[in-house]
Chain A
Amino acid sequence: MLAKRIIPCLDIKNGQTVKGVQFQNLREAGDPVSLAASYAEQGADELVFLDITATQENRRTMVSLVKQISAVLNIPFTVGGGIQSVAEVGDLLQAGADKVSINSAAFKRPELISELAQAFGSQCVVLAVDARPDPEWQVYLKGGTQPTGRDLLSWASEAVDRGAGEILFTSMAHDGTKNGFALEITRQLSQTLPVPIIASGGAGQVSHFISAFTEGKADAALAASVFHFGEISIPSLKQDLHNYGIPVRL
């Protein structure tokens, strides 16, 4: 049976891992290559690396980091942050990334999604979308600071029609709070869209992951600080999910 996935997310700034609380007050959380290896060892199903200070100069650093990660990692991983072009994606995939996640650039120029799907296949195109309930769920850009006026579900389904193979949905209202995932909207996304949904934002306890899969119908759940700071250990999380009857890879 297809397993629900647990995905630690590593935010990368200047080659180091950081995780902000609601994207503010970034804290240091370690070396990405050794963190990646240790997560794979513990049973993470996949990893996401987000270059949160992505600039043209940083891109070369990221490609070289991706090469190092790919040499040690025996599970799939996604790279994102500031990606704007087919050429950049080509470099990242060539360096060993399995998928890329795109966000603002895809929102500003949706053809990017179709171009990537055409060039590399939908399976490696993850659309990352940050949103907030205002009270209708609205897409935000720039790390959740810039409202767009675009409805979340309408943007996500356009992205899928254009070839996005997966949606990484972060609730900015939940991110960093440790009060649980945005369940209702995650379920709506999962039931409306024919591609896997990764729920992100709000993980604080094991029960939050359970609800993300049961009530939220998510295909995967992503978290950062609870893993980086050892508040939740992946082996015991997966054991708890398994005991609860959720299919996971032990």
Chain B
Amino acid sequence: MNKTVVIKYPAGNIQSVLHALDRLGTQAIWTDDPEEIRSASRVIFPGVGEASSAMAYLRNSGLDEVIMSLHQPVLGICLGLQLFCRHSAENDTDCLGIFDVPVLKFEANGQYKVPHMGWNTLEATHGPLFQGLPPESYVYFVHSYYAVQSVNTCATTPYTLPFSAALQRDNFFAVQFHPEKSGKIGQQILHNFLNIK
């Protein structure tokens, strides 16, 4: 039984994540059913949007407990990464706390525009997500808030300061960039996630 589930909740368009999985030969199930999620071999938690309304939805629906109880490999993407952290500065939101890391807002200045949008490099990568990638691979980002570096950081990206491009703790993985929009490198990262035992 090899089942990949993408968690369904009102946080942006996830069509491109499903398409990317499809291109890798994985027919994912898009669902918010707790039993489907718990019985999956791996779970993807995407998200584009605003932290406080997404967290409120997760709490009201009970999906927060479902996510935190998972033992199979879980991948948070973009807002998904931020919701896995302890707290987000976006509307002062308490998040799931899987990673004991705060999420802060980039400060724009003459040199750096916010949101951080476009292709930027992955540095200091380690762990199963990044196996087989060339050093300083480019991936696609669109975000205004970032997770600070921590013991859970498994890739960093330089912007106004180096931040956590990816985090991992036990079975929980998360990436700030969009692997589904990051060309062949992104495809490799998704492939790596799908092949974590």
Contacts and interface: CB of A to CB of B under 8 A. Distances in A.
B181 A76 contact: yes
A165 B140 CA distance: 16
A10 B63 CA distance: 41
Question: Is the contact region of chain A dominated by helix, strand, or loop, or is it mixed?
Answer: loop
24 contacts: A1-B120, A1-B121, A1-B158, A2-B119, A3-B118, A3-B138, A5-B118, A45-B118, A70-B16, A74-B20, A74-B181, A74-B183, A93-B13, A94-B13, A94-B15, A96-B13, A98-B181, A123-B117, A123-B142, A165-B115, A195-B113, A196-B113, A219-B118, A220-B118
Give the contact-size bracket for chain A: 20 to 34
Contacts of B119: 2-3, 5, 45, 249
Contacts of A196: 113, 117-118
B114 interface: yes
Contacts of B117: 123, 165-166, 196
A219 B181 contact: no
B46 interface: no
B186 interface: yes
A75 interface: yes
Contacts of A195: 113
Give the contact-size bracket for chain B: 35 or more
B15 A75 contact: no
Nearest to A99: B142
Interface of A: 1-3, 5, 40, 43, 45, 70-72, 74-76, 93-96, 98, 121-123, 165-166, 191, 194-196, 219-220, 249
A158 to B, nearest CB: 18
Residue in A74, A95, A194 whose Cβ sees the most chain B Cβ within 10 Å: A74
Contact of B180 (A74, A121, A165): A74
B16 A98 contact: yes
Contacts of B16: 70, 96, 98
A215 to B, nearest CB: 17
A194 B106 CA distance: 13
